Structure 1
Amino acid sequence: MRVFVTGATGFIGSAIVQELLGAGHQVLGLARSEKAAQALAAAGAEAHRGSLDDLDSLRSGAAAADGVIHTAFIHDFSAYAAAGETDRHAIEALGGALADAGRPLVVAAGLAGFNLGRPATEADAPAASLRMSEQAALAQVAQGVRASVIRLSPSVHDKGDYGFVPTLIDIARQKGEAAYVGDGLNRWAAVHRLDAAHLFRLALEQGVAGGRYHGVADEGIAMRDIAAVIGQHLNLPVVAKSPEEAAEHFGWMGRFVGLDLSASSAQTQQQLGWRPSHPSLLADLEQGHYFHPKQ
């Protein structure tokens, strides 16, 4: 299968590219720059120049493929609504190029819109969110697209991670303490990047139209336990913050740190035969690479 991948040189996308190539697929990767195009060529993929806001480039890339995996997103929390609109338009452009052909479109979504107080399942609908990736993707089913979504854990971890957990580590360094909110028993789901990449391939190959799949290996890790590992490796005290203190201490992360973002992937594993096999988040943290000085 010839697969068009957006975000192909990113943290998750680059692993997806390797997963696809290793399974015998051909990859056409979206590249915003010559550097990205060279990285894709070095990985064994073909580069397609364009960007998320160049809808013609998205349409032509999708039209030249047997299926699409969309992982690119502008992670600008100062303009999150605008980033969400860009993502919606991109998904609509990709879906339009695949319409009426039954070709697969697999879109990365997230679990940050849940906070149910129990593990979220694939049957749960997300709360209203400025990032409308899931809704935009599943709307393409009516156009004859085999669209599905993968709800990724709040922590997708591995070497090179630049997401929530590295941000928590940076905040701990800056503040001189590793913190959690309240009793710290709220939980976050997590998944290793290579397990997530494998799931994207399975969804591409086997996923059904309208499918909701969970990229979850660790169903829920208490934030207090994450803070404890951070404190241990940085030799910092581990402290509790009240919900009122969270915004000041964590900055933009304050809206997420106190949420219970646990989730199950039981249905996903049953439907796609996905079996996470790489280290858990806490095991990955214990390896120490998250705490090495950035080069």
Structure 2
Amino acid sequence: MHVFLTGATGWVGATVAAELLAAGHHMTGLARNTDKAQALLAAGGQVIYGTLDDRQILFDAAMHADAVIHTAFNHDFSRFADNCAQDQRAIETLGEALKGSHRPLLVTSGLARLVQGRLANETDKPASGPEYLRRSELAAQELVEKGIRAASIRLAPTVHGVGDHGFVPNLIALAKKTGVAAWPGEGSNRWAAVHRLDAAKVYRRVLETGVTQPVYHAVAEEGIPMRDIAIAIGKMLGLPAESRSPEHFGWFAAFAAADMAASSAQTRDVLGWQPQQRELLADLADSAYYANS
């Protein structure tokens, strides 16, 4: 299968690219520059240079692919609204290129604000409303309504592994800066987790099993209390671990306090997927995890 992959040099996308190539698929990745593309080329992938704003490039690449996976997203939170709009336009462009065919489009989304007080599952509707700016999954659903074979893969809020530069490293960096590994309130809010190598296998398995449902969960651990994450960080840094007010977390406060626990039972059953990599707290006990935070 020839797959076009956006975000092919990113934290998740690069692992998806490696997983596809190792399984014998052909892969063309979108990259912004030659420096970022070197690892992909070395692994045997092809590269198209461009960004999510290059709609003709996206359209043409999708037109010539057997399947499309969209993992790219600009995580600069200072211009979050613009980035969400860019993401939605890119999904619409990719879908337009696949219109009238059975070629699938896999869109990456998340678990934020799905449900409260229980594990989210694959049948839960995505968050919506004017205050919820990221519309990745809603855009995919709109494509389905137009007859396009689209599905969403919801990633756990922490896609971990050594080299991680996502939400958990934000907590590590904050602990180093403030001298305390903190959790908000009681610290009972939970984050689902998945190792990035396990997450990559979900994307591959969805393509190989035929995209049979609208939503899949790349979730290995259903929910780790934020307090446990902070304690693990504090232990490794030799810092106290304590509760702090929302102000302590700054722009990250809403994420740190969010309850994003989820099941992947349906996904495991449909795909025959079983996570095999080490869990988040085991990663956080590895000193290498703290090198770049």
Global fold match (TM > 0.5): yes
The aligned counterpart of 1:161 is 164
1:147–1:210: 8 Å Cα contact kept in structure 2?
A: no
Instruction: Render the CA deviation track for 1:134-179: whole Å, top value 9, x for unaligned.
Output: 0101211233321110100000001211000000000000010011
Which position in structure 1 is the counterpart of 2:145?
A: 142
1:230 corresponds to which residue? 233
CA gap of 1:52–1:31, structure 2 versus 1, over 3 A, is same
Q: Percent identity?
A: 53
Q: CA-to-partner distance for each residue in 1:205-234, whole Å, 9 max, x for gaps?
A: 224365100110010001010000011011
Task: Report the more deviating stretch, 119-128 or 34-43.
Answer: 34-43
Q: Tell me, in whole angstroms, the C-alpha distance in 1 between the residues paired with 2:223 and 2:177.
A: 26
Q: Give the equivalent residue in structure 2 for 1:219.
A: 222
Please give the residue correspondences for 1:1-295 in structure 2 after superposition, counting only pairs within 5 Å: 1-128=1-128, 129-208=132-211, 211-241=214-244, 245-246=245-246, 248-292=247-291
Report the CA distance between 1:271 and its aligned residue.
Answer: 1.1
Verify the 8 A CA contact 1:146 1:209 in the aligned structure 2. no
1:70-95 deviation per Cα after TM superposition (whole angstroms, max 9, x unaligned): 00001121111111110000000001
Instruction: Return the letter of the residue paired with 1:188.
Output: W
With over 3 angstroms needed to count, the CA separation of the structure-2 counterparts of 1:210 and 1:100, relative to structure 1, is: farther
Contact 1:141 1:209 in 2 (8 A): no
SS, match of residue 163 in structure 2 = coil
Letter matched to residue 19 of structure 2? E
Quote how far apart the aligned CAs of 1:253 are. 0.9
What amino acid maps onto 1:291 in structure 2? Y
Q: Is the 8 A contact 2:99 2:147 kept in 1?
A: yes
Gaps of 5+ in 2: none
Cα offset, 1:120, TM superposition: 0.4
Taking structure 1 as the reference length, the TM-score comes to 0.95
Mark the runs of 5 or more structure 1 residues left unpaired by the alignment. Answer: none
Q: Deviations over 1:221-264 (max 9, x none)?
A: 010100000110111111112xxx21x21111101111111000
Contact 2:112–2:127 (8 Å) recurs in 1: no
| CA-based RMSD | 1.3
Range moving further from structure 2, 119-128 or 156-165: 119-128
The amino acid that maps onto 1:24 is: G
Which secondary structure does the structure 1 equivalent of 2:8 belong to?
coil
